[in-house]
Amino acid sequence: MDYALDFGRYLTALLGICTLAGVGAGCGDNHAGTDSDGSITGATTASGPTTDSPTSSAMSSSDATTTPGGSEGDSESTTGSSDTTDSSTDAPTTETTETTVDPSTSSTDDPSATTSPWMPMPCQVETTLTEPAPSNVLFVLDKSGSMSMEMWDHDSDPQTPTVTRWKSLYQVVEFVVTEFNDTINFGAKLFPKYDAGSYLNEGACEVMPGIEVPIAEMNAPAVLDGIPGPDFEVLGGTPVYSGLVEAYDYLKGLDDSIPRAVILVADGEISCNESDIVTMMAVEQAWSGDDIGTYVVGIDAKALTEAQLNLYAEVGGKPNPDGGPILFYQTFNQDDLKEAMQKIVYDTISCKLPVNPAPDQPELFEVWIDGGLIPEVEDCDDEDGWVWLKPDHTALQLCGAACQDFKVAGEFEAKYWCTPE
């Protein structure tokens, strides 16, 4: 018996050519191991390091052969000599471990083990869907006498009778507050007051102190109950300034972390001895000083009225982006009015959004909308993406096209990632 040859084979089996983590890459056999009788056994190796102490796998020497018909996992190792060594009694075995692990969460103390490249991994909360926070929107509605006396088209059908402007306005408000009831917090302010008459001694220029319908969640029924019905004969002058001042004073008392806006609707020039310049200054102050935007809607506005409404829209922070030189939302029938109101309410949906919880590693935080990754940017005014609003990373703002995409999708997905420990 050639003990020197067998001893050399024994050393080869004992030391091994490959470690468990490197079997597939280094040896071309990712099932290699040894069983108690010295034959090669099947072993599944992890794609990354294991949490247990690594084990090694023995390979047969280069002059070993496999018995015909034997499989890769159960073949017997033979020698070139007629004498064989009983490995069950003479040769110690090397234990193999079958392990499947997640490489991003595993660690090892074995420097020889093969590790996967570092990848960020979900942590804290894997994803959070965030919907728009309801904005606070106050209708400031002209209920002067011309809204009852003037008629216009309501359905783009010349064969049907015209209706009053007030009836159209009521029906459009009804549609908007119902359609967006769970998205926007609505309220309403009237000018002049609800029961104003046609003459000064009948309150034609009086505006009720405060607000007819305070802003609240799911407020559609209250708004419709708080303004005159579609067939009500509205009367009075056009005290725009007095109505707006009451509206702004009310909105300034609300939480300024929630976006606030006025939708001013009027069909005639300001009256009741009020100044359009003073009114313009109030609108400008609300926007520049209190971050309260004013959307301006004209009901078939003519000449002087058009000039006045343009002034308000110019300084109110919310001009019509599609109006060209006409900065307010000009409408000529009920369909126009409905379209303008929908655009405005859609625009009031805020793209300033809470982030809860704040990420532990904000540099790995991601924003996704409708399956697309949104980039973090430096300047929200000129770029499409998102920026942090607060240094503690509890709020962000979507910018440009990302804001519009968010309004269409109705939600964004926040993904939290972290560095593996």
pLDDT tens figures, 191-228: 999 999 999 999 999 999 999 999 999 999 999 999 99
Mean pLDDT of 15-41: 36
For residue 47, pLDDT over 90 is answered with: no
Mean residue pLDDT across the chain: 78
Q: Structure pTM? A: 0.68
Q: Which of 78-92, 221-235, 374-388 is predicted with the least confidence, judged by mean pLDDT?
A: 78-92
Question: Which of the pair, 391 or 30, is modelled with greater confidence?
Answer: 391
Distances (CA, A) of 79 to 9, 27, 62, 82: 9, 21, 11, 8
CA distance 170 to 330: 17
Question: Which of the pair, 299 or 81, is modelled with greater confidence?
Answer: 299
Beta strands 213-216 and 260-266, pairing class? unpaired
Query: Can the peptide bond before residue 357 be classed as cis, meaning omega within 30 degrees of 0?
Result: yes
Residue 38 backbone class (left: φ over 0; alpha: ψ -120 to 50; beta: rest) = left
pLDDT tens-digit readout, 72-91: 444 343 344 334 344 433 44
Quick one: which H or E segment has residue 342?
Answer: helix 334-348
Classify the C-alpha dihedral 301-307-312-317 as positive or negative.
positive
| Amino acid 94: pLDDT | 37
For residue 306, pLDDT over 60 is answered with: yes
| Amino acid 26: pLDDT | 34
Write down the domain spans for the chain. 1-117, 135-348, 351-418
CA distance 106 to 113: 12
For residue 276, pLDDT over 70 is answered with: yes
CA distance 362 to 175: 41
Q: Which of 79-93, 105-119, 244-258, 331-345 is predicted with the least confidence, judged by mean pLDDT?
A: 79-93
Record: fold of 135-348: Rossmann fold (3.40.50)
| Amino acid 133: pLDDT | 79
pLDDT tens-digit readout, 109-147: 444 444 455 566 656 555 677 777 789 999 999 999 999
For residue 345, pLDDT over 90 is answered with: yes
| Amino acid 130: pLDDT | 75
| Amino acid 68: pLDDT | 39
Mean pLDDT of 230-247: 97
Reading the block at residue 241, the tokens are: 């300034």
| Amino acid 352: pLDDT | 87
Q: Which amino acid is at 14?
A: L
| Amino acid 170: pLDDT | 98
pLDDT tens-digit readout, 53-63: 333 333 333 34
Candidates 65, 61, 18; CA nearest to 43 is: 18
Q: Tell me, what DSSP letter sits at residue 131?
A: P
Q: Which amino acid is at 297?
A: V
